[in-house]
Structures are given as C-alpha cells and as structure tokens.
Structure 1
Amino acid sequence: MQPRSRGGGRVRRPSRGAVAVAKLRRGVHSRPPTKEEPIPATLRSLQTRVFALTWLSYASYYLVRKNYAVTKTSLEGQLDLSPELLGAVDTVYLAMYALGQFINGALGDRVGARRMLAFGMMGTSLVGFVMGIGQTGLVFAIAWGVNGLFQSTGWPNNVRAMAPWFSRDARGAVMGIWCTNYQVGGLVATALATFLVAHVGWRWAFFAPSMWVAAFGGILLVFLVERPKDAGLAPLDPDRAAAPPRAAPFREMMRIKRLWALGAAYFGLKLIRYTLLFWLPYYLEKSLGYDQETAGYASTSFEVGGVLGVVLVGWMSNRWSTNRSKLIAPILFALAAALFLYQWVGAAGLVPNVLVMALVGFMLFGPDALISGAAAQDIGGPDAAASAAGIINGLGSIGGILSGVVPAFVAASMGWDAVFYLFVVVALISAGIMAYLALAPPPAHARRR
C-alpha cells in the first residue's frame, strides 16, 4: 500500500534520480563503486586531478635535482672547483636524501601529503636560488645537502597522496603509468638545464627551474585533495577505512619485516639503476670506443626500455594485487639474465648493445616502480603510505650512495666486466628476496578482501 499523509493524501516518494541528486548535493556516496559499476563523474574528475598534480609534482622535483650534474663542467671551469669536490657534493646530497626519506615519510603521515609537498617544493626552489648565486664549494656542499632533505619529501608524500584514490585492484596499472614521472622528469630536466647553460649561463640553470617548482608548490597547496572523504566521497578501500587510525604509523611500519625485505631488494635495484644512469655513457665511450655523442644517445636506451617496463609490468601486476612479489621475482631473475647477456653481446655492435640495454631497462624499472610505489601503498594503506614508501626508498637510496663508489672501485681494480658480473649477483640476490616473499603467506592486509 502507498503511504498516506495526515490529511489522507498519498505521499509522493522521491524518484531515484532525485535521491542521487540530493546525495551529490550533500557530497555523500554511501559506498565505493564496484568493478561492474561505472566510476562516478565526480570521483573520476578528482582522480584525474590528483594523478596529474602528483605526476607533475614529482617530475618537477627533478628540475632542481638533475641540473647540478649538467652544470658541473661550468662550475669546474668558472669557479675552479675540483672534480673531487664536485663528487663530494653529490655524496652529501645522496646521504641526506636517504636520511630524509625516513624523516619525511614519517612526517607525511602525520602532517599530510599536501602540506609536505608544498613545503618540499618551495624549499628545494629556495636551495636552487642559493645554488645560482653560490661562489664557493662550501656553499654548494651545504646547500645541495639541504636540497637532499627537501627533495626527499617528494616520493613518499606523492605516493601517499595517490594511495586513497585508487583501489588495490587498479593500483598496479595506475601506478605503472604514474611512475613514468621520474623518467620523463629526469629527461626533461637534463634537456632544460643543458639548454639554459648553453644559452643564458649556468646560474639560470638553477634560477629558472626554481621559479617553476616554487609556483607549482603553491598550485599543489591550493588544488590537491588528499582523500575522497575530503570531497564527501566514500573511501575506495572500505576495510582499511573502517580500521582505527594508526597512532604511530611510522613505528608500526618499521616493525613490518616484509617492508624491510622490500627495502633490501630495492637496495640492489637502486645500486644497479643509479650506476647505469651515471656511468653508462662513460662505459660506452671509454670501454667500447663510442664517440661522446653516440655514447650519450645509446645510453638513453636504458630509460626508454624502462618507460615501457614500468607501464606494462604495472598493468600486469593487477592480477597479482594480493602479492605482487609473484610477478616481481621472475622479472628480476630475467634482469640478471639480461645483464649477463649484455656483457656478452654489448660489444658486438651498436644495435645489439642498444636492444639488450633496453631489455635491461625494461626488466629493472618495472619491478623498481612496483616495489617503491604500489607495494608500499599496499602495505601502508592511505594512512601510512608515506612511511612505507619512505622506508623502502630510504633503504634503496643507500644503494644509490654506493653507486658512486663501488662501480668505480671494481672497474679500476678488476675491469668493467667485473662490474656487470657484480650486477648479475646483485640482481639474483634481489630476485631471491622477492621469491621468498612470493612464497610466504600474503600479509594480513591482502587477505582482508
């Protein structure tokens, strides 16, 4: 029977459309969309905004990171700074960057990603201006070390900002595309700094990027929405949202053995990645006899293969969203094989060299992005993703520090063949760690589905 009003007339029930409109006006969605349902336009719009802002944010960090490498020749020639001093500045930066990952990851989960990113971007832009007016090695060492702390706000807090906006089942593919930011950002930063040094001088290679980064930090502060609930939307991970908030997310993450294992595997990947990024052109020129221009262009095959690997491996990982280690482990074993193959065919000619190095990049960057991005979000969830990403990237960054020392020592004492055989061993160790995690029972957060 139809309900009646006190006056005896029938009460008109609101239509489904009216109910939906009323909910939208109140900013309320009672539940997240299922796989079969289309994503609401409001949620889709905010997902696009968060993706674009955080992608551009982390890519922009590289503008005040890669420019120092491009200006080294100018600093040596115009300010009479020695190569040893310039290398020491790099070491100070990497050490502070590794330390900052732990600090800024913990702060991000307490303060919030939006404010941490704005603070970090404005801070690193200020350092850029200091570098642009610097005259002495001491100023560069102190400023670039401080820059390492500001730069370390970028990864853990952008990863945290992305975590609440995409479900676990979609996270692998989304983060695969998102993680192209540090490859594209690095390429653009190098090209921009090269252009500025050539046309307006090395100081503007610091000034101009700093202006953009400071401006974008302000944009992020105004327009980044940190969580769906801040826009009146239901959380995309209801089980995680229903759990009580963590009182001390960083300390809780530090007690998770799986996180330390991921960090140990990532240590090996960053040791290999940073070495190839910094030393591959030198190896091609000095050991294989390529001219400087050819060596530079050929070395980009590593990053080009990496872009393809990040996107494809991320998409594939959605099938293993409860334990992405099952996908990462075999790819890392294939990385060891590709490194071994490169040592044998790399000297056979330019084409096989480029093709096999692209294969190395494919096999390395895919797992690299999954471990430091999607896997950190899987473990940390929306309220501890910054801490999880900071711990993993902090441990990995120690490998980045050693990339400036270990390969040079091994190459000087035993030759570059020994360096690549070392990388094969390192890749196998990382693959073994991931194989152990693949065979271990899935973590509790993955079983609650």
Structure 2
Amino acid sequence: METTSMKETSSEPSASPRIRRAQRVALALLVVSGAVNYLDRGTLAVANASIRGDLGLSMGQMGVLLSAFSWSYALCQLPMGGLADRIGPRRLLGAGLILWSLAQAAGGLVATFGWFIVARIALGIGEAPQFPSAARVVSNWFPLRERGTPTGIFNAASPLGTALAPLVLSILVVSFSWRWAFIATGAAGIVVALVWFALYRDPERSRLSVDECRYLDAGAERGVIAPKVTFADWRELFSHVTTWGMLIGFFGSVYLNWVYLTWLPAYLTTERHMSLLRTGFAASVPFFCGFIGALSAGWFSDLITRGSRNAVASRRNAAVVAMLGMVAFTIPAALAQSNTVAIACISVVIFLANAASACSWALATAAAPPNRVASLGSIQNFGGFIGGSLAPIVTGFIAQKWSFVPALLTAAAIAFIGAMAYLLLVRKPIPEQSAHAAAAAPSGEAPAAQS
C-alpha cells in the first residue's frame, strides 16, 4: 500500500515529463491552428483589390463581404463555451478546423457575390470554436496558477496569423491568383485538422497518475462546488451595469482593431498608393507588433494587479489606457503624409489593440462570479464581434463616399466611447448571488444592489 507523509502531501506537486510533453504539444497545435485561423480570415483583406476587380464589386459591397464572416462568428460565440465543456475541445476544434477549411477553399471557387457571402458565413461558423476550445485546453492541461502564460501564447496566434497573411498571400495572389490563395490556405487547414486529431488528447481520456491529477488540480478551491449555471443565471448577468460596460467597451476596442484587420492592405494600396508586394511587407509589420503586445499584456496586467486592492479596477484601467493609446495613434496614422510615419503609428495601434484585448479577457475573470466567467467572457466577446461585423461595412461605405481618413477618425471616436464605457460603467465585480438565490428570496425582501 502506498503511504505519503504529511510533508509530501502539502508540498506543491510538479508536472511529470508526460504532462509537460502534452502541454507543449497542445500549445504548439493551438498556435498553429490559431495562426491558420487568422490567415484564412485575412485572405479576403489581402486579395481585396484583385477580388473587387475580378468580380466587379464596389467598396461598399466589399465591406459587406468582409463583415459576413464576423456576423456568423459573433452569433456562434455564445454557445461554443458550453459545447467545448460538453463534448471536449478535441472533437469541437477538430470539427471546426475541417468546416472552416472547406469553407475557405470554397471561397476560391465562387463566381458570384452571393455565394462568396455564403462561404464567408460558413467560415465564421467553423472558426468560432477556436478560442473557446483553446481556453478549455489550457484549463484541462495547466493548473490554475500557471494558466496566464499559455493563455497569452495561444492569444498571440491571432496577430501572428494576421502578420503572416500579407507576407505569404500577396506572393500567391501575384504569382498565381487570388483563388489559389483561398484554396491553398484551405488545404493547409485540412492538414492541421488531421495533425490535431492525431496528436491532441483531452486529459480525461488519458490515464493520469495520482500525482499528475494533484498537479493539474493544484490551486483549485477544494470543498466548494459551484452551482451549475442555468439560463436564468446567464440572463441575470444582463441586469448588471458591469456587463453592459464590458459589452460596449469591447465593441469599441474590436471595432477599431477590425478596421485595420480587414481594410489595412486596401488602405495602403488605395490611399497610400503602395504596390501589392510592398503592401504585403508593410501590412505585416503592425501585426508582428501585435504579436508582441499579446504576449506581454497578460504579464503586465498581472503585474499591476498585484499592487492593487481592486482587481476589477486594475484590469479595467489597463484596458482603458491601451484603448486610449489606440485612439491617440490612429489620428496621426490617418493624417500623416509620410507612409513611414503612418505605418509606425498603425504598428503602435495594433500593439495596443492586442494588449487591450488580453486585458479585457483578464477583466472577465475578475468581474464575473467563479461559475460564470465563461458566460461573462462570451457576452463581452459577442459585443466585440458585433463591432467587428460593423467595422468593415461602415469603413467601406465611408471610404467609398469620401476617403479612408474620415473612416479611421470615426473608428477612433468609437474606440474612445468604448474606453469611456469601461471606465465609467465597470466599477465593481458582479455579486455571486445567482438568479436562483434571488428568486428564492422572500417576496418582501429587497434584492441586492447590482453592479
């Protein structure tokens, strides 16, 4: 019979070589799938001018096409967290990879505007599981105290993929055609899906030792079982000002970020008169800066939180400062005559945009009750991608009627409103009292004050 001393029991468990190997494989696959995810959604932006010329689309129609992905992606965000918990990230993300890769390849075969919209909607549905599944993978394979760094790593895949898109895809578009850019990236996604199914395993399907289980459970509360979240609990989140502040705030942050994500290559070729190959290099620089921003933001947010008594205020303030920086540097990016100055300012904006996004996700963990972190995070992300859906449309029509300068200034104003929503509305955490508890209270008893 195995015996364990009290000293050994209280000591902090460490990861076994098998756990470390599984962590490295999981993170590597998440970074690769996340980069392909953003490479696929960025193909339309890189091939913007070629597609408009080939299909005879106006700037306004291209704005609608650029936003079609975001609408389906936003609407599918809310159920994906529950699906990742129910069926596991291996099956959910694997199925999503196959669906979005087929939709991406179909984009290279379409001949009409309508069918292109259908392909982009399918792409949004397929890509929706990526980040909820990634969060679940980190929760599965990393103990509570070690989840910050892997979360920053898988989030950094989004600017990495966006940075690679103009470098890789502009060569494909120039050397072959925009259709081959879609087909090649779709084929790459199928390969990644096969590798994902071959190498990744959810830990509940692995035979873990007692010490390995102790390591993965380290830092989790013991003896406290959070009640299961009901629809009433989820709906009750909307009765709090904090929820609306986060939803509106992320709307502004993602709106400005998605103006650059969807229109930057076209802006550089149309407004700045750069060649497609030069645009491919110039458009990649800001997103490599965003990659650094995503990696560093989680660490910085943790740093300032350690010196603060109010975790919500410190996380919120980090997001607000980053968003105000986005606003400040977008103005010279729009007005500067020098292409070099414009690219430098845009690089700072994208760095701060990815930092703001990481801080906003960290805010959800501080503001939500423990059993509703994913629910609050998905509501915030839903608001963000409503902004991401509107940004390409509004930008396209403003650029078509006037120019990109008022489009960028409009986006900066919307981001400023979002920063103020965070600052003024997100004041305190949402109380743990559930909708069930509120319903069970005596009818004459006043409800608790809401945040």
- Percentage of pairs with the same residue: 23
Structure 1 position 422 matched with structure 2 position 410:
yes
Q: Report what 1:243 is aligned to.
A: 225
Q: For residues 316 and 219 of structure 2, what CA distance do their matches in structure 1 show?
A: 21
102-111 vs 250-259, which moves further? 250-259
Q: Relative to 1, partners in 2 of residues 1:342 and 1:86: Cα closer, same or farther, differing over 3 Å?
A: closer
Residues 307-346 of structure 1 mapped to structure 2, 5 A cutoff:
307-319=291-303, 320=305, 322-323=311-312, 324-340=315-331, 342=333, 346=336
Q: Which string of whole-angstrom CA distances, capped at 9 and with x for unpartnered residues, describes residues 179-226 of structure 1?
A: 210111123344443333444544433333223322322332343344
Q: Relative to 1, partners in 2 of residues 1:63 and 1:49: Cα closer, same or farther, differing over 3 Å?
A: same
Q: Which amino acid aligns with 1:363?
A: L
From 94, 99, 104, the counterpart of 2:75: 99
TM-score w.r.t. structure 1 length? 0.76
Q: Report what 2:23 is aligned to.
A: 47
209-218 vs 167-176, which moves further? 167-176
Contact 1:155 1:390 in 2 (8 A): no
Shift in Å at residue 309 of structure 1?
A: 1.8
Q: Report what 2:436 is aligned to.
A: none
Contact 2:249 2:418 in 1 (8 A): yes
Contact 1:165 1:236 in 2 (8 A): no
Q: For residues 139 and 245 of structure 2, what CA distance do their matches in structure 1 show?
A: 21
Larger CA Rg, structure 1 vs 2? 1
Structure 1 position 150 matched with structure 2 position 126:
yes
Q: Which amino acid aligns with 1:239?
A: E
Q: For residues 199 and 419 of structure 1, what CA distance do their matches in structure 2 show?
A: 32
Structure 1 position 255 matched with structure 2 position 236:
yes
Structure 1 position 82 matched with structure 2 position 47:
no
Structure 1 position 371 matched with structure 2 position 360:
yes
Q: Which amino acid aligns with 1:354?
A: I
Shift in Å at residue 282 of structure 1?
A: 4.5
Q: Which string of whole-angstrom CA distances, capped at 9 and with x for unpartnered residues, describes residues 321-359 of structure 1?
A: 743224223333333333345456x33x34433333322
TM-score w.r.t. structure 2 length? 0.76
Q: Report what 1:270 is aligned to.
A: 254
Q: Relative to 1, partners in 2 of residues 1:424 and 1:117: Cα closer, same or farther, differing over 3 Å?
A: same
Q: For residues 200 and 371 of structure 2, what CA distance do their matches in structure 1 show?
A: 16
Contact 1:160 1:386 in 2 (8 A): no
Contact 2:89 2:202 in 1 (8 A): yes
* CA RMSD of superposed structures (Å): 3.8
Q: Report what 1:302 is aligned to.
A: 286
Residues 27-426 of structure 1 mapped to structure 2, 5 A cutoff:
34=12, 39-72=15-48, 75=51, 80-83=55-58, 86-167=62-143, 169-227=145-203, 231-232=208-209, 233-234=213-214, 235-239=217-221, 242-244=224-226, 246-248=228-230, 252-256=233-237, 257=240, 258-284=242-268, 287=271, 297-319=281-303, 320=305, 322-323=311-312, 324-340=315-331, 342=333, 346-347=336-337, 349-372=338-361, 374-376=362-364, 387-410=375-398, 417-426=405-414
Contact 1:64 1:210 in 2 (8 A): yes
Shift in Å at residue 294 of structure 1?
A: 5.3
Q: Relative to 1, partners in 2 of residues 1:62 and 1:395: Cα closer, same or farther, differing over 3 Å?
A: same
Shift in Å at residue 318 of structure 1?
A: 1.9
Q: Relative to 1, partners in 2 of residues 1:425 and 1:90: Cα closer, same or farther, differing over 3 Å?
A: closer
Query: Partner of 1:65: helix, strand, or coil?
Result: helix
